[in-house]
Amino acid sequence: MKDVQNEPDDRNIDLARVGIKGIKYPMNVLDRANKTQATVATVNMYVHLPHRFKGTHMSRFVEVLNDYCADLNLKTFFEMLDRIKKSLDAPAANLEIRFPYFMKKKAPVSGVPSLMEYTCKYIGEINGDERKLLIGVKVPVCTLCPCSKEISSHGAHNQRGVVSVTALFKEFFWIEELIEIVESSASSDVYALLKREDEKFITERAYGRPMFVEDVVREVADKLKKDQRFVSFSVEAENFESIHNHSAYAYTEVDSRPS
């Protein structure tokens, strides 16, 4: 059959990314407590398309994904990228995987267990001999406003927020470790299930640890800077303000690689 994708193109324009986007696929990822965890990932897969080719073979992306979805880890991630690059005869390949990840958490006083959901991502690229893999998490937190506490005779407004961290690393780490770094940097962490005694404890803990959105970002960044496993990272926090019609936001990025 005629292969239209392999026909030449005379417009002399390279395409940085060509591929498939938004495909959902069942996938297994590493889990510190249970070894592996089944999840459903949203996957984007791309290759660099040189100017001389009219198109790429989209079906080959799914073939590669199907072969690796049962066992996704740091080693197989790059194997998957290598397969994409080789299968599509491309100079560079990109892979983005986002998935919900669940951790069992016990409430701080009652000890009642529940599952907390976090959003995680793997973003990788192979370009010639260069290989890069970023791992990210999105973690819900609770913050209490220091200014509100300072000016009020009793009480202070608090809100739920989301902290996003994306890190380039040189040594293995668990997703759970990154989540714990974030949760320990806010006024309080968040739980799916709490009893009254837990709510009392968390409310009082947050009141004793007021944090601006700027504080949260700096706390997370400070912990990551002290951890030699992380080469570079970005930290982003958004607080969904409870008494304002807007969100509070802060962002930073740190790169310890020599310039």
Tell me the per-residue pLDDT of 164-188, one tens digit each, with 9 for 90 and over. 999 999 999 999 999 999 999 999 9
Tell me the C-alpha distance between 155 and 38, whole Å. Answer: 42
Handedness of CA 90, 81, 127, 99 (dihedral sign): positive
Q: Which pTM value belongs to this model?
A: 0.90
One domain for residues 164 and 82? no
**In Å, how far from its chain's centre is CA 209?**
26
One domain for residues 115 and 236? yes
One domain for residues 34 and 144? no
Tell me the C-alpha distance between 42 and 92, whole Å. Answer: 21
As for how many domains the chain has, the answer is 2
What is the residue range of 50's domain? 1-99
One domain for residues 113 and 88? no
Tell me the C-alpha distance between 104 and 188, whole Å. Answer: 17
Domain boundary residue among 99, 120, 148? 99
258 three-state secondary structure: coil
Domain boundary residue among 99, 132, 148? 99
Q: What are 85's two structure tokens?
A: 């690059």
Look at residue 47 in the predicted model and tell me its pLDDT. 94
- Would you place residue 76 in the very low, low, confident or very high pLDDT band (cuts 50, 70, 90)? confident
Look at residue 155 in the predicted model and tell me its pLDDT. 87
Domain boundary residue among 45, 77, 99? 99
* 134 contacts 123 by C-beta, under 8 angstroms: yes
- CATH number reported for the structural domain that contains residue 186 in this entry: 3.10.270.10
